[in-house]
Structure 1
Amino acid sequence: MKLRQAAFAALSLAISHVQRTYASALTTAIPAGQKMCFYAEVDKEKEKIGFYFAVQSGGTFDIDFEVRDPRDVVILDGKQERQGDYIMTANHIGEYSFCFENDMSTITEKLVDFDIMVESEPRKETPGKPSQLSEHTSALEESIFKLNGMLSSIERSQKYFHTRENRGFSIVKSTHDRIFWYSFLECIGIVGMACAQVYVLQTFFNRTGRKYKV
C-alpha cells in the first residue's frame, strides 16, 4: 500500500508540474511585405520559454523574425532563417512578443509553422514525509520526466520531417509547373515554325506571279 501511495503521489506531482506548462502550436500565412506578431504571457521570473518555427512554403523558405521582452528589448532575432528551435529564460514578468516579417518578398506569401511554449523552471516539492516517499517518488518522477523529454524529442523530429515533406512537395510542384509550361511553349513553337515554313514555301513558289508544280 505504501508503494502504491508513493507511486500515486509521484504521478500526481509530475502531472501537476506538466499542467503548469502551456504551449500554442499554430500555422499561419504571412502575406508579402507584412509583419505578424504573436504573444505569450509570463507570470513568473526564470520561467523557460521555448520557441520553434519552420517555413513550410513560399519563396526560398526563409523569413525574418524577432523576439522582444516586456520592456520592448530584442532578445532574439534572425534574418532569412528557414527554421529555428530556441530555449530562453524569462528574466522579466509580462508579455513577450514573437514577430515574423516577410518584407524581403514582394509577391510570395510565407506559410510558417511555429510553437511557443512557457514552462516553469523549478519542480514542486515532494509532498509528505521525505522518509516515506523520497526514494520511490524520485525514481518515478525522474522516469516520467525522461519520458516527457523523449516525447518532446519525437515531436520535434515529426515537425522536422513534416517540414521537409512540405518543402519537397513545394519543390516538386514548382518543377512540375515549369516542365508543363516549357512543354506547352515548346509545342506552340513547333506549330508556329511549321506554319511559318508552309507560309515561306508558298510565298517562294508564288512570287513574281509564276506557279510551279511540285
Structure 2
Amino acid sequence: MLSRLLLLASLLTYVSATALTFALQPNEKACFYIFNQKQKANIGYYFAVQAGGSFDVDYTIKAPGGRVIAQEQKQRQGDYIFTADAIGEYEFCFSNEMSTFAEKVVDFEIRDDDDFRASLPNAPAENTAVEGMQSSVLRIESKLGQLSNTLQYYKTRNNRNQSTVKSTESRIFWFSIFDVVLMCSMAAFQVLVVKFFFQGSRKQLV
C-alpha cells in the first residue's frame, strides 16, 4: 500500500524563472510548472542529478495541451532551450519510479530566455551608441550564462565525485570488517582443529 502511495505521489510546485534543489524519493514523481505568457518564447531548463543511485532520472516536458515536447529516460543532466509555441502552463516532470530504494537529489532551473532582452530599453532610431551598449550587455549576459553553466557542471562533478568517494570508503570499511571477522574465524577454526587432533592422540596413548 505504501509503495502505491509513493508511486502516485506528485509534488506540484508553480515556479517562474527560478532554480531549486529537491530530493526525489524512490518511486516518486515530481512536477513543476511555468506559465508562458507569449507565443514563440524561448524557455530554457537545466537539471542535474547531484546524488543517489546511478545519478539518473526520467523526465517529461509537456505543452499546455498535453503534447509531449521532450521525454527521456535515465538521464544524468541536461541543459536545453525550446520554443514555446502556445500560451499557457508548461509541465516539467521528473520520475524516480525506476528506483526502489535510492533517493535522488536533483538541481533544477527553469528560465525564460526572453525576459532579460525584453527588459532592455529600446534604442532610439539611428543611435549607434545605444545599440552598441545593448550589444555589449547582451554579450556580457551570454558570457555570464556560459559561466553559470560551467559552474553548475563543476558543482555536479564535485557532488558526484564526493558521493563516489563516500561509497568507496563505505565499501572499504565493510570489506575490512568482513576480512577481520574472516581471519578471526579461520584462526579459531585452526585452533579447534589442532586441539581436536591433540585430544585424539592423548586418548590413543592412554
TM-score range, shorter chain: 0.7 to 0.9
Corresponding residue to 2:33 among 33, 39, 42: 39
1:95 partner amino acid: E
Are residues 24 and 120 of structure 1, via their aligned partners in 2, closer, same or farther at CA, if it must alter by over 3 Å? same
| TM-score when normalising by structure 1 | 0.83
How far 1:26 sits from its partner (Å)?
Answer: 0.6
1:64 partner amino acid: D
The 3-state SS of whatever aligns with 2:17 is: strand
* Pair 1:201 & 2:197 matched: no
What is residue 168 of structure 2 aligned with on the other side? 175
Question: C-alpha separation between the residues in 1 aligned to 2:125 and 2:35?
Answer: 35
Corresponding residue to 2:113 among 115, 119, 122: 119
How far 1:185 sits from its partner (Å)?
Answer: 0.3
The 3-state SS of whatever aligns with 1:200 is: helix
Please provide the CA RMSD for this pair.
1.8
What is residue 185 of structure 2 aligned with on the other side? 192
How far 1:208 sits from its partner (Å)?
Answer: 7.1
**How big is each residue's C-alpha offset from its partner over 1:14-53, in whole Å with a ceiling of 9 and x where there is no partner?**
xxxxxxxx62111111011111100111111111100110
What is residue 53 of structure 1 aligned with on the other side? 47
Aligned residue pairs: how many? 188
Structure 1 range deviating more: 34-43 or 201-210: 201-210
* Sequence identity (%): 40
| TM-score when normalising by structure 2 | 0.86
Q: Is the 8 A contact 1:66 1:74 kept in 2?
A: yes
**Which protein is bigger by CA-based radius of gyration?**
1
Corresponding residue to 2:125 among 124, 127, 130: 130
Question: C-alpha separation between the residues in 2 aligned to 1:52 and 1:192?
Answer: 53
**How big is each residue's C-alpha offset from its partner over 1:48-98, in whole Å with a ceiling of 9 and x where there is no partner?**
100110111111111100100110111011111111111011111111110
* Pair 1:144 & 2:140 matched: no
The 3-state SS of whatever aligns with 2:38 is: coil
Q: Is the 8 A contact 1:52 1:85 kept in 2?
A: yes
Consecutive aligned runs of 4 or more in structure 1 exceeding 6 Å deviation = none
Q: Provide structure 2 residue ranges, at least 5 long, that are not aligned to the other structure.
A: 1-15
What is residue 72 of structure 2 aligned with on the other side? 78
Q: Which has the higher contact order (CA 8 A, sep 6+)?
A: 1
Are residues 205 and 147 of structure 1, via their aligned partners in 2, closer, same or farther at CA, if it must alter by over 3 Å? same
What is residue 11 of structure 2 aligned with on the other side? none
How far 1:125 sits from its partner (Å)?
Answer: 6.6
